Amino acid sequence: MSNQTMRKAPSAARRARAKPGATKPTSARRQTARIEGFRDGKPLIFGWGGHLTRVQKNRLQQRMAYSFFGVVIAVVVAVFIFGFIQQSFIIPNQSIVSINGTAITQDTYRKYLAFRSQDLWNKLQAEFRQQAALQTKVKNGDPAAATQNEVVASQITTDESNFTQGQLTQTSMDDLVDDQLIQQGIAQFERSDPTAQAKLVPTSKEINDAYNAFKAAFPPNEAYSDFLAKNNLSNNDVRLAVTMQLRGTKMQAYLQAQVVSPLRQAHIRRIQVSTAALAAKLRDQLAKGTATWEALAKQDSLDTDSKNTGGDAGWITPWTGDAGLTNWIFANGRQVNEISPVIKDATGTFDLIEVIAFDPSRVLDESLLKAAQSNALAHWFSGRRSDPVNHISTPNSTMMQDSRNLPVVPNLKVTLPTPVSQQNSGLPPMPAP
Query: pLDDT tens, 59-116?
Result: 777 887 888 888 888 777 767 665 655 556 577 789 999 999 999 999 999 999 999 9
The pLDDT of residue 14: 57
Q: Which string of DSSP letters, residue by residue, matches 249-277?
A: HHHHHHHHTT--SSEEEEEEEEEEES-HH
Report the alpha-carbon distance of residue 152 to residue 134 in Å, rounded.
10
Q: What is the mean pLDDT of residues 417-430?
A: 50
Q: Which residues contact 286 (CB under 8 A, 6 or more apart)?
A: 292, 293, 296, 339, 352
The pLDDT of residue 58: 79
The pLDDT of residue 41: 66
The pLDDT of residue 66: 83
- Map out the domains of the chain as residue ranges: 39-91, 102-189+206-248, 263-366
What whole-number percentage of the chain has pLDDT above 90? 70
Q: Which of 203, 216, 209, 201 is nearest to 119 (CA)?
A: 216
Give the residue, 152 or 420, on which the prediction is more confident.
152
Question: Any idea what DSSP says for residue 290?
Answer: S
Buried b (16+ CB within 10 A) or exposed e, 69-87: eeeeeeeeeeeeeeeeeee
Residue 395 predicted with pLDDT over 90? yes
The pLDDT of residue 128: 95
The pLDDT of residue 238: 98
Residue 21 predicted with pLDDT over 70? no
Report the alpha-carbon distance of residue 433 to residue 431 in Å, rounded.
6
The pLDDT of residue 74: 79
Distances (CA, A) of 329 to 75, 254, 284, 323, 423: 64, 22, 20, 10, 52
Quick count: other Cβ atoms within 10 Å of Cβ 174?
13
Grouping H, G, I as helix, E, B as strand and the rest as coil, residue 108 is helix
Q: Which of 377, 358, 375 is nearest to 367 (CA)?
A: 375
Report the alpha-carbon distance of residue 242 to residue 329 in Å, rounded.
35
The pLDDT of residue 33: 47
Residue 38 predicted with pLDDT over 80? no
Do the beta carbons of residue 266 and residue 316 sit within 8 Å?
yes
Residue 23 predicted with pLDDT over 80? no
Q: Is the dihedral of CA 254, 258, 260, 266 positive or negative?
A: negative
Residue 228 predicted with pLDDT over 90? yes
Q: Which of 113, 107, 254 is nearest to 175 (CA)?
A: 113
Residue 427 predicted with pLDDT over 90? no
Residue 286 predicted with pLDDT over 90? yes
> CATH class for domain 263-366?
alpha beta
Over residues 296-350, the pLDDT tens digits come to 999 999 999 999 999 999 999 988 889 999 999 999 899 999 999 999 988 899 9
Over residues 349-360, the pLDDT tens digits come to 999 999 999 999
Q: What is the mean pLDDT of residues 133-146?
A: 94
Report the alpha-carbon distance of residue 348 to residue 157 in Å, rounded.
31
Report the alpha-carbon distance of residue 289 to residue 277 in Å, rounded.
19
Q: What is the mean pLDDT of residues 235-247?
A: 98
Instruction: Look at 4-18, 112-126, 259-273, 396-410 and tell me which has the smallest mean pLDDT.
Output: 4-18
Give the residue, 433 or 149, on which the prediction is more confident.
149
Residue 177 predicted with pLDDT over 70? yes
The pLDDT of residue 432: 47
Q: In what order do the strands lie in the sheet with 343-344?
A: 312-316, 263-273, 350-362, 343-344
Give the chain's mean pLDDT.
Answer: 87
Report the alpha-carbon distance of residue 153 to residue 419 in Å, rounded.
5
Alpha-helical (H) ranges within 257-401 are: 276-288, 293-300, 323-329, 366-374, 376-386, 397-401
Over residues 47-59, the pLDDT tens digits come to 676 677 777 767 7
Q: Using alpha carbons only, how large is the chain's radius of gyration in Å?
A: 42
CA 237 to chain centre: 14
Confidence band of 387 (pLDDT split at 50, 70, 90): confident
